[in-house]
Structures are given as structure tokens and as C-alpha cells.
């Protein structure tokens, strides 16, 4: 990467950073949006839009959310809006199990074990794959996999910044690609369901409605990331001399005998648990099956238990690992692992509170239905192919992601507008959510506004003292562009072939 090009990229990113810093905090942003809903509903109440409400068959009317009755209704339902907001409960439950797994050291040991047994020529795809799997542990990938990527590449005689780039691409650029279900799946599904129910209160989505697509996307991201790292990024890093305080960087310690023993027993507990679960679902009269005998129908207890199963998937091996290794010696330490996980969720809960109130007021006002109907009419007049419309959603999401990093906050903003509008065009919520996830992931790695972006710059500076925002952005730009373009084409091909997006998912919606 030439110095001139690096400077140009850094200048562009600095402008983006200045623009992004003018935006309020996401929590405050939703307060402003709530105020906008109030004002718009007040201004548009009583206006005849010559539109029929598809839910009632009657003339669509905007409901004034600044009326005394509406304000009283909001306050009387404020606690319920928050406590019953679907993403809150499912994320917190999943995080309880993940917290124990992190606290005991199970996740750390598992990631180190995977990376330690990889052949040199497979370092790149393995690091990207571990970065993808680390999504299940929320932020663990940022603080563990990314710095380890640099250590492993440096130890193998390769440029350490290339290892950091590969890990960052897997952890953040491929954020919505994963072989293993994570808390992100039910989080987005809950927001999608709330958005879709603005148009159709009977819409129910499965928490794993994108799972097949995200699992297949993992393979795409690994292969793309492998090519970009080895053929584009690493060759251009040859001019970036490693002059940092390398001696101060701790080496990647292999698992000792006690850690290996603990990891083996924890993995055995996982397989035993999965085996018992599978055996319990085999009988035709299994209590895990739905009334029709299906295991994958949304009404099936198994599908309703996805989040608790994710909780147990991390809790059980985490406890076993902690007992064997000695990090969990009593019930107090067991609970402490959960408590630490909940401590990290404070900011998330603040955002969710205001999102829940915004979603409620937006839904009650009928503004979402109006936008959906008028937007659908405009799109119908344009007569754009459905593929073009879906591509537009991906590009728009990727642009917004440069300024608002939270996946849930953005989707909470966009879902109430996108989903009813697209449903009017026959595009299902499951497909719209998959499109959103591509745009949300692809540009994570090029925006300084992403909370962990500065941390990754610091990781780079340990090897290259002059590394800065421009260095990292220039490294990650090829990943971002190719992920955005080729992942979009992959979704269109996937859709064209009619491969299921996930459990209980549909590409279309019929009014």
C-alpha cells in the first residue's frame, strides 16, 4: 500500500469520523426518533391518504401520539413494552450461559486449541473460521482472536498485520455468518417479527429463520477472506516494516495437560448433551414435537426452546471445564460468571428500553403502515425486479452502518419501515432480514465508529509503530468491498436456486 493511497484513505475516513461524531448516542437517537413519531403523527392525524388499511379493510388513519389518551397509554404500557420486548429476554438468557463459559476459560481454551493444531498453510482460513465461530461468545473474538491472529502469523514468519486483518475480517466483517447459532439470531428475529406484525399481527418468525444461509455464508466468507488475505492484503503489507516492540508481545501459550483434560471433558459433556437431546426427539410422541409431529414448526417446543438450548450449549461445558481446571470451585464463582456477563449488558438494556418505546409508538401511530403502503406503491410503479430491491436494502444498510454500529439498533430503526413495505411487494421478512445482515456485516471493518476499531489499531501498532486508522482501513477495504459485492450475489444466487434460508423461513409473503 503506497503512502499516498494510505493518506487518501485516512483523509476519507477522518471525514466519515467527523460526520459520525455528530450523531447522538444510539439511545438518544431513539429518543429523537420517538419525538419525530409524535410530531409526525400529530401533523398527519386527520389527513385522508386515500389508502386502505390491509389489517382492517378500512380507510387508513394516522393516530395522534401526542393526544392525552395516547400519552397515557404509552406511560401505562412503558414497563410492559420494555419487559416484553422480544430481543431483551432472549439475549439475556443466552448471555447467562455464555458468561459462564467465558468466566471458566472454556471459550478461551477452545479457541486456542483450534488454532494450535492448524497446519501453516491453513492458518488463514482457520483464523477466519475461529473468528466466525467466536460470534457465539459476543465480544470474545475482538479481544482474543484478533490479537492471536497477529501472534500466530508472526510466529509462522508471516506479516502479523495480515493475521490481524484475517481475524478482524472473520470476527467483524463476517459478523452475520456463523456455523453455530448465536444470540444475534433470536435478537434480529425478534425485531423482524415486531416489524412485520405492524402489517400482519399474525406473522411469527423462527429464531433460526436465516440459519441455513448464515451457515453457508460462513464457507463463502472463509474462502473470500483466505483469497483476499493471501493474494491482496499480505503482499501489499510487505512495505509495512515490523518495527514495534515485538519482544513485549507474549507468545501464544499452548494448552497445558490440565487445560487439555478440562477441554476434553467439557467437549464430552457437549456431545453427551446433544446426544441426549437427539434421543429425546426421536419418538413420534416426543414432547419436543409439535401437535403435527414436526420438530421444525415454530409451534414445536424444540423450536421454542432454541434460546434455552443455546444457554445450555455454553453453560454445561463451561461448568465442566471450570470444575476440572479449578476456575469454578463453588456456587459463588458459578453465579459470578453469569453476573459478569450481565454487567456487560447494561448499555444494551438502555438502548433496548428506548427502542421498545419507539417501536410501540411507531406501531400505534400507523405511520409504518402508511410508509409501507406508499413505499410499496412507489416501488410497484418503478416495477424494479425484486432482486434489485433486495440489493438496494443491502447497500443502504451498509452505508448506515458506517455511522450507527449497533446491529440491533439499526434493524430496530429499519425493520418497521422495510418489512411492511417489502411484504406489500411479496418479499418475505426472512429474506429482508438476510439482506440486512449482509449490509450490516460488510462495512463493520472500515468504520472508525465501530467501538472495537480503535482497539484493533492498537493491536496493529504493537507490530508497526506508525500504523493508524488509515493503515487498518486500507487493509480492510478489500474485504469490505468484496464481501459486500460477492455476498450480495451469493444471496441472489441462493434465492434463485430456492435453497431454504433457515428453519420455517420463506422468501415470499402473501397478503
Contact 427, 386 (CB under 8 A): yes
Give 2's pLDDT tier (boundaries 50, 70, 90): low
DSSP state of 143: I
pLDDT tops 80 at residue 239: no
Element (H, E) at 318: helix 306-325
In which residue are the cell numbers 450480495 written?
A: 488
**pLDDT band at residue 328 using 50, 70 and 90 as cut-offs:** very high
pLDDT at 405: 61
| Structure confidence at residue 245 (pLDDT) | 66
Residue 162 has what pLDDT?
Answer: 92
Q: How many residues does the chain have?
A: 511
| Overall average pLDDT of the 257-266 stretch | 92
- Secondary element (H or E) of residue 323: helix 306-325
CA 395, distance to chain mean position in Å, is 17
**CA nearest to 159, candidates 249, 240, 244, 247:** 240
Which of 46-50, 97-101, 170-174, 470-474 is predicted with the least confidence, judged by mean pLDDT?
A: 470-474
CA distances from 315 to 145, 160, 162 (A): 21, 34, 34
Confidence of residue 216 (pLDDT cuts 50, 70, 90): very high
pLDDT for 13 beyond 60: no
Closest Cα partner for 87 from 356, 464, 487? 356
Which range, of 93-102, 237-246, 330-339, averages the lowest pLDDT?
237-246
> Which of 187-201, 368-382, 471-485 shows the lowest per-residue confidence on average (mean pLDDT)?
368-382
User: Looking at 146-160, 240-254, 433-447, which range is the least confident one?
Assistant: 240-254
CB-CB contact of 134 with 141 (8 Å): yes
Q: Which helix (DSSP H) or strand (DSSP E) does residue 162 occupy? A: helix 160-168
For residue 324, pLDDT over 90 is answered with yes
Among 41-45, 87-91, 207-211, the range scoring the smallest mean pLDDT is 87-91
Give the pLDDT band (50/70/90) at residue 137: low
pLDDT at 493 over 50: yes
Ranges of each domain in the chain: 24-35+63-497
Report the pLDDT value the prediction gives residue 8, as an integer from 0 to 100.
57
Q: What is the pLDDT of residue 379?
A: 61
Q: Which residue has the higher pLDDT, 449 or 244?
A: 244
Burial 295-320 (b: 16+ CB within 10 A, else e): eebeebebbeebbebbbebbbbbbbb
Range with the poorest average pLDDT among 106-115, 229-238, 375-384, 453-462: 375-384
Q: When comparing pLDDT for 5 and 388, which is higher?
A: 388
Reported as a single tens digit per residue, the pLDDT across 438-454 is 998 999 888 766 767 77
Amino acid 380: pLDDT: 65
User: CA-to-CA distance for 135 and 301, rounded, in angstroms?
Assistant: 25
* 463 neighbors 244 (Cβ within 8 angstroms): yes
The pLDDT tens digits for 294-304 are 786 667 888 78
Asked if residue 477 has pLDDT above 90, the reply is: no
Q: Using one digit for the tens of pLDDT, what is the confidence trace for 29-48?
A: 789 889 999 999 999 998 88
pLDDT score of 130: 86
> pLDDT-based confidence at 316, cuts 50/70/90?
very high
Instruction: Tell me how far apart the alpha carbons of residues 126 and 124 are, in angstroms, rounded to a whole number.
Output: 5
Predicted pLDDT of residue 12:
54
Amino acid at each position: 500500500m503506497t503512502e499516498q493511497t494510505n493518506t487518501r484513505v485516512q483523509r476519507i475516513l477522518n471525514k466519515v469520523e467527523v460526520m459520525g461524531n455528530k450523531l447522538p448516542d444510539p439511545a438518544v437517537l431513539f429518543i429523537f426518533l420517538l419525538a419525530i413519531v409524535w410530531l409526525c403523527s400529530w401533523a398527519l392525524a386527520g389527513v385522508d391518504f386515500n389508502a386502505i388499511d390491509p389489517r382492517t379493510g378500512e380507510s387508513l388513519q394516522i393516530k395522534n401520539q401526542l393526544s392525552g389518551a395516547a400519552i397515557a397509554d404509552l406511560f401505562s404500557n412503558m414497563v410492559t413494552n420494555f419487559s416484553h420486548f422480544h430481543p431483551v429476554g432472549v439475549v439475556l438468557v443466552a448471555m447467562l450461559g455464555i458468561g459462564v463459559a467465558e468466566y471458566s476459560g472454556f471459550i478461551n481454551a477452545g479457541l486456542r486449541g483450534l488454532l494450535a493444531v492448524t497446519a501453516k498453510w491453513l492458518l488463514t482460513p482457520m483464523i477466519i473460521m475461529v473468528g466466525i465461530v467466536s460470534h457465539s461468545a459476543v465480544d470474545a473474538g475482538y479481544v482474543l482472536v484478533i490479537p492471536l491472529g497477529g501472534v500466530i502469523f508472526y510466529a509462522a514468519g508471516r506479516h502479523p498485520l495480515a493475521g490481524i486483518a484475517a481475524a478482524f475480517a472473520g470476527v467483524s466483517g463476517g459478523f452475520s455468518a456463523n456455523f453455530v447459532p448465536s444470540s444475534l439470531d433470536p435478537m434480529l428475529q425478534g425485531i423482524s417479527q415486531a416489524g412485520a406484525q405492524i402489517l400482519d399481527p399474525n406473522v411469527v418468525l423462527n429464531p433460526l429463520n436465516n440459519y441455513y444461509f448464515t451457515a453457508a455464508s460462513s464457507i463463502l466468507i472463509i474462502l473470500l477472506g483466505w483469497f483476499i488475505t493471501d493474494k491482496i492484503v499480505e503482499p501489499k503489507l510487505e512495505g509495512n516494516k515490523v518495527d514495534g516492540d515485538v519482544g513485549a508481545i507474549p507468545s501464544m501459550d499452548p494448552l497445558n495437560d490440565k487445560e487439555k483434560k478440562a477441554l476434553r471433558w467439557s467437549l464430552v459433556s457437549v456431545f453427551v448433551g446433544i446426544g441426549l437431546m437427539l434421543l429425546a426427539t426421536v419418538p413420534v410422541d416426543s414432547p419436543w414435537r409439535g401437535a403435527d409431529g414436526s420438530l421444525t414448526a415454530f409451534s414445536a417446543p424444540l423450536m421454542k426452546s432454541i434460546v434455552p438450548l443455546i444457554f445450555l450449549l455454553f453453560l454445561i461445558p463451561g461448568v465442566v471445564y471450570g470444575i476440572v481446571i479449578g476456575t469454578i470451585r463453588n456456587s459463588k464463582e458459578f453465579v459470578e460468571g453469569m453476573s459478569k456477563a450481565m454487567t456487560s449488558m447494561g448499555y444494551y438494556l438502555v438502548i433496548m428500553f428506548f427502542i421498545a418505546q419507539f417501536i410501540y409508538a411507531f406501531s400505534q401511530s400507523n405511520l409504518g403502515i402508511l410508509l409501507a403502503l406508499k413505499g410499496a406503491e412507489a416501488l410497484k410503479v418503478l416495477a424494479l425486479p425484486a432482486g434489485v430491491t433486495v440489493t438496494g436494502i443491502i447497500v443502504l444498510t451498509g452505508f448506515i452502518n458506517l455511522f450507527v454500529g449497533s446491529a440491533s439498533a439499526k434493524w430496530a430503526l429499519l425493520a418497521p419501515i422495510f418489512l411492511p413495505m417489502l411484504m406489500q411487494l411479496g418479499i418475505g421478512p426472512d429474506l429482508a432480514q438476510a439482506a440486512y445482515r449482509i449490509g450490516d456485516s460488510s462495512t463493520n471493518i472500515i468504520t472508525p465508529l465501530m467501538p472495537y476499531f480503535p482497539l484493533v489499531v492498537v493491536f496493529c501498532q504493537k507490530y508497526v509503530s506508525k500504523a493508524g486508522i488509515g493503515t487498518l482501513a486500507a487493509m480492510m477495504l478489500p474485504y469490505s468491498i468484496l464481501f459486500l459485492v460477492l455476498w450480495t450475489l451469493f444471496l441472489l444466487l441462493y434465492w434463485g436456486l430456492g435453497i431454504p434460508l433457515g428453519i420455517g423461513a420463506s422468501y415470499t409473503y402473501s397478503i
